[in-house]
Amino acid sequence: LHVLAIALALEVSVGKTNTVMALNNSHVLLPCTFTTCIGFQDLVFTWYFNSTEMIFHGKIKSKASEPVVVARNPRVDFVGSTTGKDNNISIVLQNVEFSDAGKYTCHVKNPKEKNAQHNATIFLTVVHKMVETDNTLTLIIVGVVGGLIGLLILFMLIKRVVLFIIKKIQDGKKECLVSSSGNDNTENGLAGSKAEQKAPAKA
């Protein structure tokens, strides 16, 4: 039963990252989606700023109907849709100001799941101008690491070549020693045979 309850649980998400950066006096999207395995009926969703200030409140009768706006901040527009593939309840905050920076919470309540509730939070940062990320250090690190890996591979190749050459030289010396040793034994044997055939000198 516990596993079944988890499978049917209402889930709310603001995407892969929970931080958003916006330029002062621009429009910013605050994403939010929800999922539920058993569907929803008369679902209620609310957006809060810094946990207390309600900036958007909406209701959705069923999957076949789009959300209805109940109340909203004049600078907030609803841009989601729940009749498509995703249950999207995202909003857009217009003309962002520095005072808009903070925590935005997307809260969902589904009566069909015994009034199950869930929420997700996204943090908004407002800046005077967008600063390009300086990737110089990253490029240097990548270059150094790549260079070290290249040197290591080159060292291993040189080592293999040197070991191969040394092995060949040693094998060549062994062949020479075996050949020389064989010749000496043969000569000694022949010399010995000749000596044995000579008659002893007469006194």
The kind and range of the H/E element at 157 are helix 136-197
Dihedral pair phi/psi, residue 169, rounded to 5°: -65, -45
Averaged over 74-94, what is the pLDDT? 94
Residues 6+ apart with CB under 8 A from 101: 124, 125, 126
CB 87 within 8 A of CB 112: no
The rounded distance, in Å, linking the Cα atoms of 55 and 94 is 12
The model scores a pTM over 0.75:
no
In this predicted structure, the answer to whether residue 184 has a pLDDT above a threshold of 70 is no
- What confidence tier does 172 reach under pLDDT thresholds 50, 70, 90? confident
Averaged over 123-143, what is the pLDDT? 79
β-pairing, 91-93 vs 102-110, is unpaired
Cβ-based neighbour number of residue 42 at 10 Å: 12
Which residue has 């039963």 as its token pair? 1
Q: Identify the DSSP state of 30.
A: E
In this predicted structure, the answer to whether residue 134 has a pLDDT above a threshold of 90 is no
Pick the CATH number of 10-127 from 1.10.40.30, 2.60.40.10, 2.30.30.30, 3.40.50.720: 2.60.40.10
- 36, two tokens: 């539920």
Q: pLDDT tens across 33-75, in order? A: 999 988 899 999 999 999 999 999 999 999 999 999 999 999 9
**Helix or strand or coil: residue 132?**
coil
Whole-number pLDDT of residue 5: 45
Question: Which residues lie across from 122 on neighbouring strands?
Answer: 104
